[in-house]
Structure 1
Amino acid sequence: MRGQTSEQSADEAGQHADSRAIANATGAVGAVRTASETVDEQLAAIDGLAGAQADEIGTVVTEVSELSATIEEVAASSEQVAQRSENAADRAADGRAAAADAMAVVESVQETSEELAAEIRRLNDRIDTIENALAGIDDIAEQTNMLALNASIEAARAGNGGGADGFAVVADEIKSLAAESQAQADTIESALADVQAAADETVAQLEATTEQIATGTDHVADAMDEFDAVAETVERTADDVQSVSVATDDLADSSETIAAQSEQVADRAGDIEDSIADIRTARTEQTAMLREVEDALSTADRGPTTTQSVPTGIDAIDDRCGGLVEGGQSVLESDGAALDDVVGQLVVAALADGRAVSLTPTPTLDRDTLAAAFEGSDDSLDGAIREDRLFVLDAFDTWGRGSNVFDLQSRSLGEVNRETDRKRDAPLLIVGNIAGEIAVLGEQQARAARYENDGSVFEESDTVLNVIDGERVGDSFGAFYVGAADQVFSVESERGDRRLTVVDSPGITGEPSTRLGSPRATDR
């Protein structure tokens, strides 16, 4: 049967409920203040991010302006390249026309040269005729010489008295030879006239050829000039292309800078979104807490009264506070200091006091570590689990399977709490691990589960101790539990030693810290 550790009257139970409500209200107000401070810090961070984003956007604008100027430069260079390419094409067309003219002149020169060659051949023929005529003149001259010799002989023979007939014959022959010589001379003269005419024609044709050659030379020179202009245009085009290449490189650099700046802007925007999400979470948390304050204050009209305590087995707590407030909510927080041995002492002490325990272990609190806490006591880990006095809610999958070991990866927290409540037969100490609940449920559902567990499953005599590891739980979410707690205990480590401070407890606030010593070897 379920029972209380002591009998309470209806009035005492009402006073206890009012005390709890006022304590919850006071803690919730403190949590609201902490959450508001967190919101202010996040808003300040947003202002800083917004300022940085504005500066980066200004840099982006500058880069975009430089990019626009570079693009305009590329466009202008491109127009110049296009214009010069057109000029090169025109010059090339002019060069081709000049080359065609030069080709026509050369062909004309070739035709004239062929005609000149034919004329020269005809001249050679006439020269041959002259040579033949000259040969005939030579023959006549020889014959004339012979006649003259004969005439001399005949004259000598005739003497002074006669021989006239002989001389007459000689004279006739000489006359005939003279006539023949005259005819040959006329032939030579005519041939020479023809030669002269041919020579004149040749000279005229040579002069025409010279003029045509000169014209052809001019055309060729013009063609060379045009092709030189084309070459110069091509060189300038190459220079322009190089300028375009350099401008393109600058454009690429600017684009890379813009891309990097854009990434930074995107990162800043992501940071801002994260901060806004945190703000929304904090505001939601404030709303829930304020609702709790309103509900608590609406029912609280009496001050706190003395309640029963749950022993912890830790002198620093039991000697100063008498233990945990029964039916209350307490917080054990650390800055990352080891707590496994401390939690083990709490579990063993509660079981020894006749209570049942619902435990959500830390990631390092496994079977062996908790079993070591039972050494020197009359109880055992296996016995407590087997007798429905200890229930383990395994959030980090370090306990394996077994009776009264619940895997929170496969079963809901509400379902496990209901089964625990059904099996237990004594007031319950609920040792929660906030990091484990967040790991399984997420912050929002973990917060909702906290409200659901208050009064919906467990009884008013059941005691809650939430373990908060500052390295795994954020300040805002930790303040959510600390603000609503009846008691707050803090464990800090320094140079291997741990000290426990009673931060807040009924009748005790800001108590000096007490040395706990180094964690046990089994506390991993």
Structure 2
Amino acid sequence: MTVGEQRARPDSAAADHDEQMVANAAGALDVVRTASATVDAELDAIAEEAGRQVDEADSAVDDVSSLSATIEEIAATATAVSEQSERAASEAAEGREAAAAATETLREAREAGQAALERIDALTTQIDRIAEALSGIDDIADQTNMLALNASIEAARAGDGSDGFAVVAEEIKSLAGESQSQADDIDALLADVRDATDETVAQLERAVERIDRASDRSAETKAAFDDVTDAVDETAADIGSVSAAADEQATTSERVAATVERVAESAGSVERDIETIRDARSEQTEMLAEVEEALESAAGSRERELAEAVRIPTGIDGVDALCDGGIPQGGRAVVRHDGAGPVGRLLAQLCAAAIADERAVSLSAPPGLDRATLDAALDAVGTGVDEALATDRLFVLDMFDDWGAGRNVFDLDRRSLSDVNERTADRRDRPLLVVGNVAGEIEVLGERAARAARYDNDDGVLESTDTVVNVVDDASVSDSFAAFYAGAADQVLSLTGGDRRPTVELATAVDGAGGVSRPVAASAEPPFLTVADGES
């Protein structure tokens, strides 16, 4: 049956369409299942986080409430201290004024003492002058006594006729004696006055000295009061600032407490929402199970058909053994890799084996599969890249300008994907093996267009005998993309670099089995890979 005949059969086209819908639904179901697992994990994480936030928020509310009470207490204490500081400042100011007044009084007392000393000095001078006058009086009294004595002597010589003169002389003597007596009394009195004056002067001098010392101390006291007043004023100002800050902090703390309470309420609401989502997820899981059951029922006939289908060899004995002879014709396979394994060599062998099996290959080369590697693989089966391109057995979708110009090498920067598919459909004359590069499609087409394309990406080019192998790089393709292609695939091979040596695993077989893994050894010559017999 030719390609044209295959394309003309409407029942075959309808069957292909139905199979594609089932495959797409299976892939979508796998995406939903993967997303659901992710959502469940995220819900668990969110629930745990929300619970922790509730606990922390409740604790924070308690802490903030306690802090608010402490801040209010600090504010009240600061206010009281501020008031006490203001009183202390006022009292210190009064003390400073009293010290200043005391200093002024002492200054006045010192001036008064100095004035008293000066007056006493003047009095002493006058006393000294009186003493000098008294000395003169003593001299006069002595002379008067001498005159009285002489007069008495002369009166005695004169006889009876000098009685009056004798009386006068006696009176003069009596007055002189009285004057001498009074002068002696005055002298004794002046001596007492001089002694008292000297004592007063000594006391005044001592008082002035004490006043001087008191004045100095008063000045020191005033200076100390000045320092105290300044310090108290500064303290009062600082405490006033602390009080204002504490008041503001108390207000802020109250706002924080209110906010934390709202956060706690929100976290509680999140917990309730999560429970609602969990209920919805549980219902969704049941629905997915029903869909999966329906898809499994619809896919049963396809599994039986593919189980009996012709196998396309991979060119690697150990891989063919894993895949029960190779990749089933008309099937959809996925090769997943982690970027570290020799995926390019595996695909080069697959393309060479398909061309040797009289098939055409449409290749979107992933990283690691270059022209030289493919040429070496084709040369091992009796052809080469140039010959395969020229005879329409190889079509290359050159996504990154790695293959150069030539027949059947399509530059996707210059040609659309639909145009490339049309040219491939017109030129190929045998069943087609399509090797797709999912990461490349995303990079060239954009994620949105690549999502829209997925398995509906060949615009009617594929026939029932055509086979698709999509290459998925787990390191650069999102989990949802990988899950779709793996879920829609009939067969999934995984190639990983491993810690010490690569392995190949049949993750999903046509009959739904899988999970068999084998160690792989790579070489520079075709068939490039050797698969060990035992499981890794």
TM over 0.5: yes
8 Å CA contact 1:329–1:463 kept in 2: the answer is yes
**2:532 equivalent in structure 1:** none
Q: Structure 2 vs 1, CA of residues 515 and 125 (structure 1 numbering), >3 Å: closer, same or farther?
A: closer
Tell me how far 1:181 sits from its aligned partner. 5.6
**2:315 equivalent in structure 1:** 313
**1:356 equivalent in structure 2:** 360
Q: Please show how residues 443-462 of structure 1 align to structure 2 within 5 Å.
A: 443-459=447-463, 461-462=465-466
SS at match of 1:392: strand
User: CA–CA distance in 2 between the matches of 1:75 and 1:304?
Assistant: 82
**1:21 equivalent in structure 2:** 18
**2:343 equivalent in structure 1:** 339
Tell me how far 1:104 sits from its aligned partner. 3.9
8 Å CA contact 2:89–2:232 kept in 1: the answer is no
User: Which structure 1 segments of 5+ residues have no match?
Assistant: none
Amino acid at match of 1:98: A
SS at match of 2:524: coil
Q: Please show how residues 118-517 of structure 1 align to structure 2 within 5 Å.
A: 118-147=118-147, 150=150, 154=154, 158=157, 167=166, 170-171=169-170, 174=173, 177=176, 304=305, 310-315=312-317, 323-334=326-337, 337-385=341-389, 389-394=393-398, 397=400, 399=402, 401-403=404-406, 413-414=417-418, 416-418=420-422, 420-421=424-425, 427-441=431-445, 443-459=447-463, 461-473=465-477, 476-491=480-495, 496=501, 498-499=503-504, 501=506, 503-505=508-510, 510=513, 517=520
User: CA–CA distance in 2 between the matches of 1:470 and 1:421?
Assistant: 30
8 Å CA contact 1:374–1:380 kept in 2: the answer is yes
SS at match of 2:396: strand
Q: Structure 2 vs 1, CA of residues 159 and 408 (structure 1 numbering), >3 Å: closer, same or farther?
A: farther
8 Å CA contact 1:144–1:177 kept in 2: the answer is yes
User: CA–CA distance in 2 between the matches of 1:91 and 1:194?
Assistant: 49
Amino acid at match of 1:96: R
Q: Structure 2 vs 1, CA of residues 427 and 223 (structure 1 numbering), >3 Å: closer, same or farther?
A: same
8 Å CA contact 1:316–1:514 kept in 2: the answer is no
Q: Structure 2 vs 1, CA of residues 129 and 409 (structure 1 numbering), >3 Å: closer, same or farther?
A: farther
8 Å CA contact 2:353–2:381 kept in 1: the answer is no
Tell me how far 1:85 sits from its aligned partner. 3.1
User: CA–CA distance in 2 between the matches of 1:410 and 1:167?
Assistant: 177
**2:70 equivalent in structure 1:** 73
Amino acid at match of 1:313: G
SS at match of 2:522: coil
Q: Structure 2 vs 1, CA of residues 84 and 365 (structure 1 numbering), >3 Å: closer, same or farther?
A: farther
User: CA–CA distance in 1 between the matches of 2:429 and 2:191?
Assistant: 160
- The TM-score, its normalising length taken from structure 1, stands at 0.67
Greater displacement, 235-244 / 340-349 = 235-244
Tell me how far 1:124 sits from its aligned partner. 2.1
User: CA–CA distance in 2 between the matches of 1:492 and 1:114?
Assistant: 115
User: CA–CA distance in 2 between the matches of 1:242 and 1:354?
Assistant: 93
Q: Structure 2 vs 1, CA of residues 490 and 51 (structure 1 numbering), >3 Å: closer, same or farther?
A: closer
The count of corresponding residues between Structure 1 and Structure 2 is 486
User: CA–CA distance in 2 between the matches of 1:502 and 1:58?
Assistant: 44
Cα RMSD, aligned residues only:
6.1
Greater displacement, 417-426 / 325-334 = 417-426
8 Å CA contact 1:23–1:485 kept in 2: the answer is no
- The TM-score, its normalising length taken from structure 2, stands at 0.66
User: Which structure 2 segments of 5+ residues have no match?
Assistant: 251-255, 530-536
User: CA–CA distance in 2 between the matches of 1:71 and 1:377?
Assistant: 85
Tell me how far 1:441 sits from its aligned partner. 4.7
User: CA–CA distance in 2 between the matches of 1:138 and 1:46?
Assistant: 134
Tell me how far 1:242 sits from its aligned partner. 13
**2:112 equivalent in structure 1:** 112
Amino acid at match of 1:392: V
Tell me how far 1:434 sits from its aligned partner. 2.4
8 Å CA contact 1:358–1:390 kept in 2: the answer is yes
Tell me how far 1:127 sits from its aligned partner. 0.9
8 Å CA contact 2:425–2:461 kept in 1: the answer is yes
Amino acid at match of 1:142: D
SS at match of 1:453: coil
Is 1:99 aligned to residue 102 of structure 2?
A: no
**1:63 equivalent in structure 2:** 60
User: CA–CA distance in 2 between the matches of 1:65 and 1:177?
Assistant: 115
User: CA–CA distance in 1 between the matches of 2:495 and 2:175?
Assistant: 166
**2:253 equivalent in structure 1:** none
User: CA–CA distance in 2 between the matches of 1:38 and 1:512?
Assistant: 22
8 Å CA contact 1:155–1:167 kept in 2: the answer is yes
**2:33 equivalent in structure 1:** 36
Q: Give deviations 1:171-197, integer Å, cap 9, x for gaps.
A: 465467468668968988998999999
Tell me how far 1:32 sits from its aligned partner. 1.4
Q: Structure 2 vs 1, CA of residues 105 and 479 (structure 1 numbering), >3 Å: closer, same or farther?
A: same
Amino acid at match of 2:486: V
Q: Structure 2 vs 1, CA of residues 425 and 154 (structure 1 numbering), >3 Å: closer, same or farther?
A: farther
Q: Structure 2 vs 1, CA of residues 401 and 339 (structure 1 numbering), >3 Å: closer, same or farther?
A: same
8 Å CA contact 2:396–2:409 kept in 1: the answer is yes
User: CA–CA distance in 2 between the matches of 1:440 and 1:359?
Assistant: 15
User: CA–CA distance in 1 between the matches of 2:331 and 2:440?
Assistant: 21
Q: Quick one: which of 25, 44, 51 aligns to 2:48? A: 51
Q: Quick one: which of 497, 521, 527 aligns to 1:518? A: 521
8 Å CA contact 2:145–2:177 kept in 1: the answer is no
Q: Structure 2 vs 1, CA of residues 54 and 419 (structure 1 numbering), >3 Å: closer, same or farther?
A: farther
User: CA–CA distance in 2 between the matches of 1:35 and 1:427?
Assistant: 33
Q: How many percent identity over aligned positions? A: 34
Amino acid at match of 2:506: T
Q: Give deviations 1:409-443, integer Å, cap 9, x for gaps.
A: 78765565456556656543210122333444565
8 Å CA contact 1:491–1:501 kept in 2: the answer is no
**2:533 equivalent in structure 1:** none
Tell me how far 1:464 sits from its aligned partner. 1.4
User: CA–CA distance in 2 between the matches of 1:439 and 1:129?
Assistant: 133
Q: Structure 2 vs 1, CA of residues 56 and 165 (structure 1 numbering), >3 Å: closer, same or farther?
A: same
